[in-house]
């Protein structure tokens, strides 16, 4: 089982621009980062390269059977669901659409189990519908930390609003400050781990 920190980000309409805003200039995070973006399969690789160009962390398409590594960003391929096996191994599969979409944020987030070590952070960004709400509820239930984008900076407020309505969101933030919040949360996590050692 992967013992590091995991950040899982769900996003839809307005997602590419929002993700670039968050990752541009963001120092490397003490975590493995998974991005579930509602994106067609034909444009996923192009966007991964685009985000890689502005990110201080390597951004690649998630590959079936690979394992999480701290400091890496994994974009879920279009038209594929992702679930995590043992909080560490990436499993890709087609499956039915969930919440009318594939990949589904809920599928990825609800596959996480309570970590023995490390920290889990779930983030829901701009998008239409309610994908990610059940995932946020699940992450909170296993002791994780949750973030939703605010209405003012969301292109479409549907997904963040649905997440907020679960009562399981810890922080509501503009996209411009989400990166710094992640960095702060994960730095504190690193300090706690060092103290425990």
Active-site residues, by number, are 12, 38, 131
CA dihedral for 37, 43, 44, 46, sign (positive or negative): negative
Backbone phi, then psi, for 79, in 5-degree steps?
70, 10
Sign of CA dihedral 12, 87, 110, 157: negative
Distance CA 131, CA 104 (A): 7
Residue 28 and residue 56 in contact, taking contact as beta carbons nearer than 8 Å: yes
How far is Cα 94 from Cα 102, in angstroms, rounded to an integer?
8
Query: Could you please report the per-residue DSSP string of 37-102?
Result: E---TTTHHHHHHHHHHH-SS-EEE--TT-B--TT-EEEPPTT-EEEEETTTEEEEE----BTTBS
CB 101 within 8 A of CB 133: no
């Amino acid at each position: 089982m992967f013992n590091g920190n995991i950040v899982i980000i769900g996003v839809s309409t307005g997602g590419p621009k929002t993700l670039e805003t968050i990752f541009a200039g963001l120092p490397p995070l003490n975590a493995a980062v998974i991005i579930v973006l509602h994106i067609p399969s034909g444009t996923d690789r192009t966007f991964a390269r685009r985000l890689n160009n502005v990110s201080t962390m390597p951004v690649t398409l998630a590959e079936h059977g690979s394992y999480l590594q701290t400091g890496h960003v994994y974009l879920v391929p279009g038209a594929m669901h992702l679930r995590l096996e043992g909080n560490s191994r990436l499993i890709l599969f087609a499956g039915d659409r969930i919440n009318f979409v594939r990949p589904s944020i809920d599928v990825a987030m609800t596959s996480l189990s309570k970590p023995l070590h490390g920290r889990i952070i779930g983030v829901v960004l701009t998008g239409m519908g309610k994908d990610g709400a059940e995932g946020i509820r699940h992450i909170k239930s296993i002791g994780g930390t949750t973030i939703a984008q605010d209405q003012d900076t969301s292109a479409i407020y549907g997904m963040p609003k649905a997440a907020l309505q679960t009562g399981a969101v810890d922080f509501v933030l503009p996209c411009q400050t989400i990166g710094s919040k992640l960095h702060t949360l994960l730095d504190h996590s690193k300090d706690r781990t060092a103290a425990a050692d």
